A and B are shown apart, each in its own frame.
Chain A
């Protein structure tokens, strides 16, 4: 567990950079990811990202992370909290797409 936290810490600091891939995500999958973000992430973070059992995901707060750090957080989850690891359902590329949305295309600015 402590190893995981350490890995996570490195990721958040952006010291571990995920390999980026050149190919884009299919339009249909992007639509699915958008539903996932607002509906499924939304079941804890609120459909408008204003928070619930989980904290609010404002653009301002999301930009305190590097993009890859945020993507890692999504993939690994936060042990000891209710934030699960989404790595079983999402590829690294998809997690980065979600991080991009949260950092640059976010309905909740602050």
Chain B
């Protein structure tokens, strides 16, 4: 072979072929839009799921105590931030299944949020009570904001933090369970700017922010009703809404706090779980008046809207937690009662809502339903599955 022959067309092709072998083959490139994670609380692992294939494709171990763990996604929808009960915060690469960063940032934590610009990850802590902010890049600490309040004796205390959400304007909003306060942190300046709203009601236990990011609503455990903060008009302070839904009746023992995440909107109405009652409450978004109550089969935990808002799906507290009820938002009638397994903990709709994935902790399975036919599509084995989170949350405020 002469030197010239290397430039012959055939040799060129062979050369290119050899070169291609050194590069990533196109088949291995993958988007993350149809990926998600399932928290497996007993084993402290994360199952990586693909919603197009309806399969669990990988398992991530070594994430600590994942009881009540929740997950947020990075702005590029490639990384999952996992908030563990033991104060662990882990960053997981969905494409490789690797933990790229992990810290133990507190003694006891409940969940987190990611800022509007994707730069900051915030964690709500029970112990010591407060919020910590980290760089979403490498989980380095950016700010530590103790949730301090003054008790009835004039002493400074730290409160457990609940209902932490991200809000437009690169803000975070959260509630103080022990103090009955709502705090707003603005992260636009060099240092966090904190605004406190006191006397918001007794024991806020969780909160939600509506899909537009305007209304922050905290549920109250210690009294009837909820507290509303209009983030367009924080100068107006907080407003109590649905204050008499219990009408002073003795409520049932509450075996599990409802969750307010995934707030259900249908037209101009918000659908919310009642505390200590077998009811869904419906409020008009104009004046927040109670416009309806729907009797359901147990104490509601999650009240979640299918993305097209035509259905609301409801899960329940122990001991009525083996079923899920589906309600038509137009007729307000219960369309069906499904049995996904024992101890249903969470539901997650695929991005456009054609399917819903439901975890049943004590049946060790996740069931996928077609939300149109309401028929089971698939069962996936998973050990003590709890929260299910899909990457479309990456691009929605408050999720």
Contact = CB atoms under 8 A, between A and B. Distances in A.
B1 to A, nearest CB: 69
A77 B255 CA distance: 10
A86 B253 contact: yes
Contacts of A42: 67
A44 B257 CA distance: 8
A26 interface: no
A5 B368 CA distance: 46
Nearest to B257: A53
B85 A47 contact: yes
Interface residues of B, number: 28
B361 interface: yes
Contacts, number: 66
B110 A52 contact: yes
A82 B254 contact: yes
Contact of B67 (A36, A46, A86): A46
Given A46-B67, A47-B67, A52 B253 contact: no
Contact of A40 (B107, B127, B221, B256): B256
A97 to B, nearest CB: 17
B339 to A, nearest CB: 18
Contacts of B203: 82
A49 to B, nearest CB: 10
Given A46-B67, A46-B85, A47-B65, A52 B126 contact: yes
B344 to A, nearest CB: 12
Interface string B126-164: 110000000000000000000000000000000010100
B319 A89 contact: yes
A50 B253 contact: no
7 contacts: A43-B256, A44-B256, A48-B85, A51-B127, A82-B257, A84-B253, A89-B255
Given A44-B256, A50-B108, 17 more contacts: A35-B343, A39-B343, A40-B255, A40-B318, A47-B41, A47-B42, A47-B65, A48-B67, A53-B160, A53-B177, A53-B257, A82-B254, A82-B257, A84-B253, A85-B253, A86-B253, A89-B255
Interface of A: 35-36, 39-40, 42-44, 46-48, 50-53, 77, 82, 84-86, 88-89
